[in-house]
Amino acid sequence: MFRLFTHNDLDGVGCGILHRLAFKDDTYIRYNSVQGLDFQIERYLETDRLEDIVFITDLSVNTENAQRLEAYKVKGGKVTLIDHHKTALHFNEYDWAHVTVEYEDGRLTAATSLYYEHLVKHHYLKRSSSLDQFVELIRQWDTWEWEKNETLDAKRLNDLFFMLSIDEFEERMVKRLQESDTFSFDEFEEKILDMEETKKERYIRRKRRELVQTFIDDYCVGIVHAESYHSELGNELGKDSPHLDYIAILNVGGKKISFRTIHETIDVSAVANQFGGGGHAKAAGCQLTEQAYKFYIEKPFTIESLRVDALKNQHNLKGNQAGSLYADQKGSLFFIYPRTDQSWTLEQNDSNKQAFSTFEEAERHIKRNYSAWLVRDDEYLRFLAENPNHSKRSK
């Protein structure tokens, strides 16, 4: 029997789909979480089935299991580990492990693409153009290359993966890849993906209106309560309000916080670390501890939501040569306009002038310190009518 132990994300399940296509019914596939694999491997090795052919993909084993696998191999067991994570490179010291992070041309690898090449090379599977396309979508998804290449189908494939159960996804993809010469979504999948997209956009718009801004430890933080779509939400809110250093997404029911930033200069894993969590520089998380509760929920509770910049303006536009008008919750008005020498003036309530070298800097200043928003055209035109010295500028 051909056994596969693999990850339970899209890249891991991609390996499962290839495995099914290659070995048909003579297979046993187990999808594992990162934490779950070692238990499964240990339990399997205890059964001592030397007649099996075993593959492990997209995941690494611990030191004890590496030694057990080595002993199993020496006894005549057939095992191959295929992975693409940097942290697994040391497994290459074993002849049963193949860890490759990058192709020679510099593209990053994925477990699915490595396993595909392995199966083709050993004549378990025949190369086809639908398989080439399918594998490449997963590779781009798993390595984030889809963003730069704008390969939206890679993202849609992962969305579909999350909307279906693993079994249903596997079954659909196996059938598709056997029957079609090129890989594409069917009508039903396109439909549910579009519906999901619309639902997500609406959810993010609603969450944007609930966003609260405050300072925590010198960081200007956007706080929002949400249970779903954390990655997309963190990314969209971050891009919508680049004056925020990071976005904290709270899930009180699950007692968890996610931190996301779009800025290269900010490391949210350090923020998560303060509360016993961790992660990457741009995406991290922690438990909602009592201390975190105080900072992210209790203190900001009475702050009003951050207003959204007027969207449909014809006149009051950002970086306008005639000036751009902002307001804050206390009723202050902020007018930003260019001076002759390429610098920008910020005027607060018709006095109190400050100079900035770019429009963006002036805007960032009032957004961080006053939670100000771009006002609608009607308010802008009224302001100009009441301030003839400013209205001259627009002539």
Smallest gap from residue 111 Cβ to Mn ion (A): 5
How many Cα atoms are found within 13 Å in the side-chain-facing hemisphere of 342?
0
Smaller CB separation from Mn ion, 11 or 267: 11
Q: Nearest 5°: CA angle at 45, between 44 and 49?
A: 90
Smallest gap from residue 18 Cβ to Mn ion (A): 13
CA distance 84 to 98: 9
| φ/ψ (deg, to 5) at 214 | -155, 170
Smallest gap from residue 92 Cβ to Mn ion (A): 17
Smaller CB separation from Mn ion, 58 or 136: 58
Smallest gap from residue 350 Cβ to Mn ion (A): 58
How much helix, strand and coil, in percent to the nearest 5, is found in the chain?
45, 20, 35
Smaller CB separation from Mn ion, 100 or 343: 100
Smaller CB separation from Mn ion, 21 or 82: 82
Q: Which residue is nearest to Mn ion (CB)?
A: 11
Smallest gap from residue 4 Cβ to Mn ion (A): 14
Pick from 255, 21, 10: which is nearest to 126 by CA?
Answer: 21
Smallest gap from residue 381 Cβ to Mn ion (A): 55
Edge-to-edge order in the sheet of strand 256-260: 212-216, 219-225, 246-251, 256-260, 283-287, 278-279
Smaller CB separation from Mn ion, 66 or 111: 111
Smallest gap from residue 88 Cβ to Mn ion (A): 10
Give the list of residues 6+ apart from residue 121 with CB closer than 8 angstroms, or none.
none
Smaller CB separation from Mn ion, 11 or 347: 11
Smaller CB separation from Mn ion, 18 or 292: 18
CA Rg, the chain, in Å? Answer: 27
Binding residues for Mn ion, rule: CB under 5 A, are 11, 58, 111, 142
CA distance 231 to 236: 9
Residue type, 197: E
Pick from 37, 39, 28: which is nearest to 2 by CA?
Answer: 28
